Structure 1
Amino acid sequence: MDKYRVAFIGCGNRAKRHAEALRADGRCRVVAVSDLSPEAAESFKAEFAFGEAAVHTDYAAMLAAEKPDIVISCLWTPLHLPMFRACAAAGVRAVHSEKPMAPTWGDCLEMARLAEASGCQLTFCHQRRFAAGNRLVREWLREGRIGKLLRMDLYSPPNLLDCGTHTFDQALSFNEETGVKWVLGAVDGTNPLNWFSVRAESMAVGTLVFANGVRAAVQTGGPDQDMHTGVRLVGSEGFVEVDWDGRIGEARVYDDPAWKPEVAEADEAAQMIGVIDDVVSSLEAGREPELSYRKALRASEIIYACYESVRRHARVELPLAGVTDNPFIQLLDAGHFEPAAEQGA
């Protein structure tokens, strides 16, 4: 068959990680690159020897002219929904986007609705699902190496939306994609951050309970984290710590003290090769991708439920209802996080 026609939207650093992996896949041919900066687009094209690729500064015009089968989008978060809407309308067969899904829960739901209505395969770059160490931990869990999973400690740098999405996705993958029943969260918004044009908290903590009874405590950012990223999984017969990229930390099997786990090295290049293979192979086979938007939506729902818990001062049950905005930003705009000495002044 002819190679899949691939176009890039956004030609920055993350696009380069995808391009490196794409060159290893013989099923694809890059036909276009698009960036607001023509210099960035030309430099990207030259660096990866995409010699026949057309260069565009307007991705809508690129979609109309080049008619790609697959789009790889590396845009900032607020641009994800309009990009996907344009791609779906143009008949693109698969869109792979950088995470997180979108800056509001309503936008996340709209992206999911568009994917269902159009049939366009939509994936998000939770590439760490393909880390060798994370694959190994999933295998241990299936084997019952640490017994029945009871609880998880979840860690990431700040913030919930841009960084926590990796940790929640990692936890969901370890817990057989089981959904969350309820969330109780708290955030520190007194020194807000700005990540890819979305304002966010500098620290968050919370408790989650999954539908199968597994409990999880989460901390993103702030002092005194005993893991910088990743998950500590506690089972009935042991425990294991694994960071985002699959590096195994402490691990124990209680009745087998001599057990020493195989240590998997972190390999981002291999992760990205897994991403591209997942996108293309799923499109070929017509199957649900490992990086499906449905899985990203579950992680996003946890994030927005944490924010809504702060707004309600209450525990929030899932599925998340009655929310379409970003509760953290609404609270920030309302002055909710002003230092105590300044409130009511």
Structure 2
Amino acid sequence: MNTPLYRIAFIGCGRRAHEHAAGVKADGRCEVVALSDLSTESSERLNAEFGFTGNIYTDHKEMLAKEKPDVVLICLWTPLHLPVFRDCAEAGVKAVLCEKPMSATWGECQEMGRIAEANGCQLTFSLQRRFAKGNQTVRRLIKEGKIGQVVRMDLYSPPNLLDCGIHTFDQAISYMDETPAKWVLGAVDTTETYNWFNVPSECGASGRIVFANGVQANLVSGEMDTWDPAAGDATKTWAGVRVHGTEGFIEVMWDGQIIRGVNYKDPSWTPEMELSSMTDQMEGYVRHAIDCLGTGEEPEVSHAKALRASEIIFAVYESVRRNARVELPLADVTDSPFITMLENGQFAK
């Protein structure tokens, strides 16, 4: 029985495309037939580095029409995700693996989900840290009750929430078996504003999140005053989650590095450390997405799961706009409240 081959195409061939390409290269079911980028040099470089023989285009619509790929990897800046995904879905692409974050506004995030469901196109986002061995271990330990019942979380992220916080929120949600948030109270720091991939952002944020299962979480995003990399202090979590249970706690970095774990009844217990590289994670991401294309099951990083994490981000921003806590699901919001407030000059200099 022959292994099925999926026709693969890349839209966007920059640095992140190379990380996605490692996952594609490792999966024997994938055949790269085309690459699209405004820079022909970038496409040629991706072809050469991974031994692909894809046809090169500068117009992704022309590529979709001529090559008819089964699977497309979108590795573009954030504002391009929605329009390019729409083009893929309308062209009959079976699955799209898109770079995170979803989009710059909550309405656009929801629209991506609507298009995926309306067209039967499997849409996933590169929240590849779910495939880190350490994160898989933590999920297992929590299910086994190693720290008892989860009651609280401390969430840490570099700036900014849209690009970085989504990893932290997704990590936390995955530890609670996909439980969504119930309400959010947030604040943002605009001492400085950044522009990441053509989307303006805050330099820091904080807040309180209560999940539907009653777990309460404290959020810290931005510069960590308690962490000094120059001093070699590796015991502080600057990107990840500390999970507090009734019988212990586990502190985990984004990529699954377990900083420490404590079981109150068994002081000798030490959680096993399992590290995985970005390449390992991307291989797991691509392999799982291709698997799900065949089985029809919901992917580990489906658009529905990305929406849960994204909703928290925009709820933090909406809380700032309302000066009040925000109940979820997030209703009557289609913009990015942060961008709207910034453009309206509502943040003090």
The TM-score bracket by the shorter chain reads over 0.9
Distance in 1 between the 2:190 and 2:62 partners? 40
Deviation of residue 269 (structure 1)? Answer: 1.4
Do residues 107 (structure 1) and 117 (structure 2) align?
no
Residue equivalent to 1:160: 161
Question: What does residue 182 of structure 2 align with?
Answer: 181
Find the aligned partners of 1:299 and 1:208 in 2 and give their Cα distance: 12
Counterpart of 2:104 in 1: which secondary structure? coil
Q: Give, in angstroms, the shift of residue 267 of structure 1.
A: 1.7
Q: How far apart are residue 13 of structure 1 and its match?
A: 0.8
Distance 1:223 1:20, change over 3 A: closer
**Residue aligning to 1:117:** 118
3-state SS, counterpart of residue 289 of structure 1: coil
C-alpha distance after superposition, 1:231-250 (max 9, x if no partner): 00000000010000000012
The C-alpha deviation readout for 1:42-78, integer Å capped at 9, x for no partner, is: 1111111112x10001101100010000001100000
State the distance in 2 between where 1:68 and 1:258 align: 53
Check whether the contact 2:7–2:30 (CA below 8 A) recurs between aligned residues: yes
Give the deviation of 1:266 after TM superposition.
3.4
Instruction: Report the alpha carbon displacement of residue 199 of structure 1 after superposing the two structures with TM.
Output: 0.2
Aligned to 1:300: 310
Moved more, 329-338 or 158-167: 329-338
Query: What CA RMSD, in Å, does the superposition of the two structures yield over aligned residues?
Result: 0.9
Q: Percent identity?
A: 59
Separation in 2, partners of 1:310, 1:222: 20
Q: Deviations over 1:196-225 (max 9, x none)?
A: 100000000000000110000011113425
CA contact 1:189–1:332 (8 Å) conserved in 2: no
The answer to whether residue 337 in structure 2 is matched with residue 337 in structure 1 is no
Check the 8 A contact 1:188/1:203 in 2, yes or no. Answer: yes
Paired residue secondary structure (2:210) = strand
Quick one: distance in 2 between partners of 1:216 and 1:231? 10
SS of the residue corresponding to residue 242 of structure 2 reads: strand
The residue type equivalent to 1:46 in the other structure is: A
Please state if 1:230 is matched with 2:231. no
79-88 or 16-25, which deviates more: 16-25
Matching residue's letter, 1:192: T
- Name the structure 2 match of 1:169: 170
Partner of 1:193: 194
Write the distance in 2 (CA, Å) between the matches of 1:72 and 1:50: 14
Q: CA deviation at 1:338?
A: 2.5
Q: What do residues 101-140 of structure 1 show as CA deviations (whole Å, max 9, x unaligned)? A: 0000000010011011000000000000000000000000
CA contact (8 A) 1:278 1:291 kept: no
Structure 1 partner of 2:323: 313
| In structure 2, C-alpha distance between the alignment counterparts of 1:75 and 1:116, rounded to whole Å | 22
Structure 1: gaps spanning 5 or more residues: 340-345
Map 1:73-88 to 2 at 5 A. 73-88=74-89
Segments of structure 2 that go 5 or more residues without pairing to the other structure are 227-235
Whole-angstrom CA distance in 2 between matches of 1:289 and 1:255: 36
Which segment drifts farther, 41-50 or 113-122?
Answer: 41-50
Q: Pick from 250, 254, 257 the counterpart of residue 240 of structure 1.
A: 250
Give 2:35's aligned residue: 33
Task: Tell me which amino acid in the other structure corresponds to 1:144.
Answer: G
Deviation at 1:263, TM superposition (A): 1.1
Paired residue secondary structure (1:192): strand
* Secondary structure in 1 matching 2:251: strand
In the other structure, the counterpart of 2:335 is 325
> For the residues of structure 1 that align with 2:219 and 2:122, how far apart are their CA atoms?
31
Of 42, 45, 64, which aligns to 2:44? 42
Q: Return the letter of the residue paired with 1:14.
A: R
- Larger CA deviation: 220-229 vs 137-146: 220-229
Aligned equivalents of 1:142 and 1:270: distance in 2? 24
- Mapped to 2, the partners of 1:316 and 1:288 lie a distance apart of 28
Distance 1:250 1:279 in 2: 31
Asked if the contact 2:224–2:238 (Cα under 8 Å) also holds between the matched residues in 1, the reply is no
Q: Please tell me whether residue 262 in structure 1 is matched to residue 272 in structure 2.
A: yes
* Superposition deviation, residue 259 in structure 1: 0.7
**Counterpart of 1:138 in structure 2: which amino acid?**
R
SS state at 1:177 partner: coil
Q: Distance in 1 between matches of 2:37 and 2:342?
A: 32
SS at match of 2:100: coil
Deviation of 1:328 after TM superposition, in Å, equals 0.3
Q: TM-score under structure 2 normalisation?
A: 0.95
In structure 1, what is the Cα distance between the partners aligned to 2:331 and 2:325?
A: 13
Amino acid at match of 2:208: T
State the AA in 2 paired with 1:266: S
CA separation in 1, counterparts of 2:190 and 2:85? 30
Alignment check: 8 A CA contact 1:153 1:232 kept: yes
Amino acid at match of 2:260: E
